A and B are shown apart, each in its own frame.
Chain A
Amino acid sequence: MSITAEIVFLVPELALLILACLILVCDAFSTDPGKLLTYRLAQFSLVAVLLLVVYLYPDDAVSVFHQHFISDPLSAVLKVTICAVSIIVFSYSYDYFEERDTLQGEYFVLGLFAVLGMLIMASAYSMLTVYLGLELMSLSLYAMVAMHKGSGTASEAAIKYFVLGALASGILLYGISILYGASGTLVLPELAAHVSARTETDVLLVFGLVFVVVGIAFKLGAVPFHMWIPDVYEGSPTAVTLFLATAPKVAAFAMAVRLLVDGMEPLHIDWQGMLIILSVLSMAAGNIIAISQTNIKRMLAYSTIAHAGFLILGILPGMRLDVGYGYAGALFYVIVYAIMSLGAFGVVILLGRKDHESDRLEDFKGLAERSPWFAFIMLLLMFSLAGVPPFAGFWAKWFVIKEVVAIGHIWLAASAVIFSVIGAYYYLRIVKLMYFDQPEHMTEIKASRQMRMALSLNGLALLILGFIPGKLMDICTSVLGF
């Protein structure tokens, strides 16, 4: 293929790159303190990229640029999710910053660059491209966490995130270099071919694999590489936490699937064992520690850790398409999780005001009296996160457990459901605070009409997906060729 033919597959990424640079310039010359123009342009770019991805939706996999970049249904589904999630994140964030008069155009520009990194991760087909996308995303996120200059906790969170994130990137890179040394290639399918061609166990390959798994676990926030999550989630401005908790999880899932399934499927046995440990530890620690939290952002951080455990569980089946649908369950899970996480942090943003962050659990007391509708939306989100039907969260857990049972790990499925019962406790506690307790004050909820609408739709989407999950499930399975 000629370079011009190949570049077509990169159009969404290139468009985003150009638009982000343009917005950066526009923002520098804009005198509007409300930054409305920057916000609108950023939203426009995301919508445009989303439409481009949908327009270019590939029917089958095409790898370009010497197989460093792939365009396949999986990447398209992930990119659509990332863009859609980011659009909602931006709209909630705008409300957040506007209320506090701390709006900076850089937030949106950095956000766009982070999205660009995620898109590259979704399409990465060589270890180098994975790393490139990961670093672009991570560096933008470090800066976003640190944007709240005056706040001590934000600075602490940023330093912590940066130091640990850099360490994890280093470990990942080290693993990649070992794999490169052992196989002589950076391209994932060639690596897979090399691994399956070997006749006896190559210790060096497994050694490299360990470091790669550690890097992935760090980015997903799996125990024991989760230490950064609670502090960063709590310390960052809620709008940034919202971003951190949603789109990058989808990207991290992309990274895990590309590296482990596309690149090292023949080492299935080896990484499966590691993932089992990571997932059980994450579900246990995340769900149990979340119970003792008094800050909702910290509680949701531990909930994220627990959900990462479930997500990893969904990656386990890999490409076992003979008995089930492989990692399609995990893909479904990550999409639903992103929607739930958006809603949960969205409600925290909704309740917060300039002088009062509303991030303690007590702030939810009596919400059913103050605002029956948003209490209902939060109720819906909490039961969905707990995995109770008729909400989408149930199907997400159902799909993952189904695939785990299909590959014969019944005990693993049983322990996963036990941990989700433990997890149900702290979600129920939020419902208890909202519905069974009396409000401490009757402050009205002020939020823009747009925010209210978006959040309502966000919550109702989970209910609708709970009743008709089939379509989204079909999209997820179609990625694997069904």
Chain B
Amino acid sequence: MGQTLPILSLLIWAPILGGLFILYIGDRQKQAVKLFSLAVSVLVFLSSTLLYLRFDTSTYLMQFVEHAVWIETFGINYHLGVDGISVPLILLTTFTTVLVIIAGWEVIETRLSQYMASFLILEGLMNGVFASLDAILFYFFWEAMLIPMFLIIGVWGGPRRVYATIKFFLYTFLGSVFMLVALLYLYSKMGSFYILDLHMLPLSLTAQKWLFIAFLLAFAVKVPMWPVHTWLPDAHVEAPTGGSVVLAAILLKMGGYGFLRFSLPIAPDASAALAGFMIVLSLIAIVYIGFVALVQQDMKKLIAYSSVSHMGFVTLGFFVVFFIMGPARSIPAGSIDSVVMGLEGGMMQMISHGFISAALFLCVGVMYDRIHSREIADYGGVANTMPVFASFLMLFAMANAGLPGTSGFVGEFLVILSSFQANIWIAVLAATTLILGAAYTLWMYKRVIFGEVANERVAGLEDISLREASFLSLLAIAVLLLGIWPAPLFEIMDATINHLVEHISQPKTG
């Protein structure tokens, strides 16, 4: 590559140092704090686009690699690098952070500098998670991320914020510690923490199963999969808008990323053996949680359950490929595409859900800032007073329901398509989401936006300001762009996913 600029380090440390500097400025100069955080986040976003521009799509090898010895005795390195799986997620992170900073601009009154600093530090840590090639470095960022999120929900959250944030912390912490034990076990076998080395380690099926379960505990909580999803509605409802956005758009994606980076390549045989179990969990999430979403009275809760249901598609896409490959894990001629399609569909679904859920939470935030209620029953006829806003929400609601032309369609469609190759009943069950998703999203939309003006508070609503319009249009562009022309995203992922498919199709026992 010949490039000397350490982009990945920049993406990790610039926001963290920026955040620390904001803490140092404090609340004395609020305007300066806002402008500075916006500047940092925009600069970080712009530098992350360099990743996209300079990314070599022809290879699955790690790119932009940085390597420095960290703890020599134990072979722990500060080792960064990205491939086709991590680049889209890093872009999603840096993009979302810009939105969150704009979204918090006028809304946050108390401890503004700490708020902005938390999000910037969080951004750096999340980039670290996606860019780490050393398992311990990965774990370091993975856990450290909990601290700013814990504070964001706890300090700026709603009435039950303490319960929600402690639940969030303990749930994710409990999941993660088993991953630590798994990593240390791998180290005791392998003598290395380099993730790509761990991919190559031969392991017996029993060992793989235990490792898979340990990783599953960490990632299933993050995704979240049924039945360990219960922290999510609480955390989402109580978190401030920015917190919900980051939770839904990025934190959940870490679970999916973990599956692709650790579970599948390290324990492919166990993944194949347990694929049925994983598919059942995913289908329960898709169907059952879809019904749960239908009956929610609280908009944020509804979107939270909708997230669980949509993330079910991600895990379904990742594990259904083992059904296509069959027990022998030979790839039947002509079906390599459907295997790749399942994984790419899952990835696509993650990115798309990142944009859509962020947009929906921001929309709820827009309404909440005006009326201070998230209850659907408190609204009605918003279209009369906020026409521009209603159009934006329309677009995002449609995208959430999976309307063709929006990004929500692409991922779901690919996953369903590849499920057909595996088993028609899986595909049928998964496809119910098209009905359910439309039902709960559009029904909510109808109750909130259409009809007569429900009460005086709604009658007094003002339409969105330029600031609000700006972040909603950014998201609208992203949702439409990915829906109409998703090719660039697939291009980035293609080499990496193909390599991954090749890797998981070979048994590792022995």
B-binding residues in A (CB < 8 A):
323-324, 383, 388-390, 394, 398, 401-402, 405-406, 410, 413-414, 417-418, 420-421, 424-425, 428-429, 431-432, 435-436, 469-470, 473-474, 477, 482
- Cα-based distance from A469 to B78 in the complex (angstroms): 13
Whole-angstrom distance between the alpha carbons of A389 and B180 in the complex? 12
Q: List 25 A-B contacts (CB under 8 A).
A: A323-B188, A388-B143, A389-B139, A394-B143, A398-B136, A405-B181, A406-B184, A406-B188, A414-B178, A414-B181, A417-B178, A421-B170, A424-B169, A424-B170, A428-B169, A431-B151, A431-B154, A432-B165, A435-B155, A436-B161, A469-B71, A470-B72, A473-B74, A477-B73, A482-B73
Q: What does the 1/0 interface line of B127-139 toward A look like (CB < 8 Å)?
A: 0000000001001
CA of A8 to CA of B165 in the docked complex: distance in angstroms? 58
The reply to whether A432 and B144 form a contact with Cβ atoms under 8 Å apart is: no
Q: Beyond A402-B187, A425-B166, A470-B71, is A418–B177 a contact (Cβ under 8 Å)? A: yes
Residues in chain B near residue A323, CB distance under 8 A? 188
Known contacts: A418-B177, A424-B170. The answer to whether A405 contacts B188 by CB under 8 A is yes
**B155 contact set on A, CB distance < 8 A:** 435-436
Q: Given A406-B188, A424-B173, check contact A435 B151 (CB 8 Å).
A: yes
Q: Residue B376 at the A interface, CB < 8 A?
A: no
Q: Is B154's CB under 8 angstroms from A425's CB?
A: no
Extra contacts, 8 of them, besides A388-B146, A435-B151 (Cβ < 8 A), are A388-B144, A388-B147, A389-B139, A389-B143, A402-B74, A418-B177, A424-B169, A432-B154
Asked if A470 contacts B73 (CB within 8 A), the reply is yes
Query: 10 shortest A-B CB distances, which residue pairs?
Result: A417-B177, A470-B71, A405-B184, A389-B140, A436-B154, A421-B174, A389-B144, A389-B143, A390-B144, A402-B184
A49→B188 CA distance, assembly (Å): 40
Cβ-defined contact, A421 with B147, below 8 A? no
Q: How far is the CA of A470 from the CA of B69 in the complex (A)?
A: 10
Instruction: Please name all residues of chain B whose beta carbon is closer than 8 Å to the beta carbon of A474 when the two chains form the complex.
Output: 72-73
Q: Is A428's CB under 8 angstroms from B73's CB?
A: no
Question: In angstroms, how far is the closest chain B Cβ from the Cβ of A397?
Answer: 9
Give the distance in Å from the alpha carbon of A424 to the alpha carbon of B165 in the complex.
13
> Is B166 a contact of A432 with CB atoms below 8 Å?
yes
Closest to B185 in A: A405
Which residues in B have their C-beta under 8 angstroms from that of A418? 174, 177
Q: Give the distance in Å from the alpha carbon of A431 to the alpha carbon of B146 in the complex.
A: 13
Interface size class of B (residues with CB under 8 A): 20 to 34
B111-170 interface with A by 8 A CB criterion: 136, 139-141, 143-144, 146-147, 150-151, 154-155, 161-162, 165-166, 169-170
Docked pose: A401 CA to B136 CA in angstroms: 13
> In the assembly, what is the distance between CA of A383 and CA of B149, in Å?
13
Task: Name the A residues within 8 Å of B154 (CB-CB).
Answer: 431-432, 435-436
Contact of A436 among B136, B162, B181, B184 (CB under 8 A): B162
Inside 8 A of B170's CB, which chain A residues have their CB?
Answer: 421, 424-425, 428
A401 proximity list for chain B (CB < 8 A): 180-181, 184
Is there a chain A Cβ closer than 8 Å to B485's Cβ? no
B-chain residues with CB within 8 Å of residue A402 when the two chains form the complex: 74, 184, 187-188
> Within the complex, what minimum Cβ distance (angstroms) separates B468 from chain A?
28
Q: What is the CA–CA distance of A297 and B70 in the complex, to the nearest angstrom?
A: 36
Complex interface: chain A residues within 8 A of B139 (CB): 389
Which chain B residues border A390 with CB–CB below 8 Å?
Answer: 140, 144
- Closest Cβ–Cβ distance, residue A99 to chain B (whole Å): 29
Choice from B72, B73, B147 contacting A383 with Cβ under 8 Å: B147
A408 to chain B: closest residue by CB = B188
A428 and B166 contact, Cβ closer than 8 Å, known pairs A388-B146, A482-B73: yes
B136 partner residues in chain A, CB cutoff 8 A: 398
B173→A473 contact, CB < 8 A: no
0/1 interface trace, chain B 428-448, chain A, CB 8 Å (1 if under): 000000000000000000000
C-alpha gap A435/B177 in the complex (Å): 25
Distance between Cα atoms of A175 and B359 in the complex (Å): 70
Known: A389-B139, A469-B71, A473-B71. A428 touches B187 (CB 8 A): no
Distance A469 CA – B136 CA, assembled complex (angstroms): 13
Shortest Cβ gap from A95 to chain B (Å): 27
* Interchain nearest-CB distance for A22 vs B (Å): 43
Complex alpha-carbon distance, A324 and B185, angstroms: 12
Also in contact, A473 and B73, with CB within 8 A (given A413-B181, A417-B180, A420-B177)? yes
Nearest CB of A to B272, in Å: 23
Chain A residues with Cβ below 8 Å from B147 are 383, 388
> Least Cβ distance of A31 to chain B in Å?
46
| A323-B188 Cα distance, complex, nearest whole Å | 8
Which residues of A lie under 8 Å from residue B185 when comparing CB positions? 405, 410
| Across-interface contacts of A436 in B (CB, < 8 A) | 154-155, 161-162, 165
Give the residue name and chain of the B residue nearest to A401 (CB): B184
Contacts of B151 in A (CB 8 A): 431, 435
Of A410, A432, A436, the most chain B CB neighbours within 10 A belong to A436
Q: Would you call A432 and B162 a contact (CB within 8 A)? A: yes
Cα–Cα, bound, A410→B150 (Å): 30
B73: chain A residues within 8 A (beta carbon): 470, 473-474, 477, 482
Alpha-carbon distance A383/B146, docked complex (angstroms): 10
Shortest Cβ distance from A421 into chain B, in angstroms?
Answer: 5
B270 to chain A, nearest CB (A): 16
Q: Taking the nearest CB of chain B, how far is it from the CB of A77, in angstroms?
A: 16
Cα separation A429 to B181 with both chains bound (whole Å): 26
Contact B71 A421 (CB under 8 A): no
In the complex, which residues of chain A have a beta carbon less than 8 angstroms from the beta carbon of B146? Answer: 388
Complex alpha-carbon distance, A389 and B76, angstroms = 15
The CA-CA distance from A449 to B218 in the complex, in Å, is: 44
Q: Which residues of B (319-341) have their CB < 8 Å from a CB of A?
A: none
CA–CA, A390 and B16, complex, Å = 13
Residues of the A chain whose Cβ atoms lie less than 8 Å from the Cβ of B178: 414, 417
Give the residues from 171 to 206 in chain B that come closer than 8 angstroms, CB to CB, to chain A. 173-174, 177-178, 180-181, 184-185, 187-188
- Identify the closest chain A residue to B70 (Cβ): A470
Would A428 and B144 be within 8 Å (CB), given that A421-B173, A473-B74 are in contact? no
B-chain residues with CB within 8 Å of residue A473 when the two chains form the complex:
71, 73-74
Shortest Cβ distance from A123 into chain B, in angstroms? 26
Contacts of B141 in A (CB 8 A): 389
Chain B residues positioned under 8 Å from A413 (CB to CB):
181, 184
A389 to B144 alpha-carbon distance, docked (Å): 5
Closest residue of chain B to A383, judged by CB?
Answer: B147
Q: How far is the CB of A86 from chain B (nearest CB, A)?
A: 28
A402 to B141, CA, bound (A): 19
A270, B181: Cα distance in complex, Å: 26
As a 0/1 sequence over residues 35 to 68 of chain B, the CB contacts with chain A under 8 angstroms (1 = contact) are 0000000000000000000000000000000000
Bound CA span A474–B446, Å: 64
Complexed CA–CA distance, A390 and B128 (Å): 13
Interchain CB contact under 8 A, A417 and B181? yes
Q: A389-B139, A473-B71 are in contact. Are A428 and B150 (CB under 8 A)?
A: yes
Give min CB distance, B201 to chain A, whole Å: 15
Residues on B with C-beta less than 8 A from A424 are 169-170, 173
- Which residues in A have their C-beta under 8 angstroms from that of B161? 436
B171 to chain A, nearest CB (A): 10
The interface residues of chain A lying within 8 Å CB-to-CB of B150 are 428, 431
How many angstroms between the C-alpha atoms of A420 and B181 in the bound complex? 13
CA A414 – CA B161 in complex, angstroms? Answer: 30
Closest to A424 in B: B173
Tell me, in angstroms, the Cα distance from A436 to B173 when the chains sit together: 20
- A residues within 8 A CB of B187? 402, 405
Contact indicator B177/A421 (Cβ below 8 Å): yes
Most chain A CB within 10 A, of B144, B147, B181, is at: B181
- Expressed in whole angstroms, the minimum distance between the Cβ of B113 and any Cβ of chain A is 10
Residues of chain A contacted by B188 (CB below 8 angstroms): 323-324, 402, 405-406
Contact among B70, B72, B181 for A410, CB-based, below 8 A: B181
Q: Which residues of the other chain, B, contact A417 by a CB distance below 8 angstroms?
A: 177-178, 180-181
CB distance from A91 to the nearest CB of B (A): 27
- Nearest to A391 among chain B residues (CB) is B144
Most chain A beta-carbon neighbours within 10 Å: one of B177, B178, B188: B177
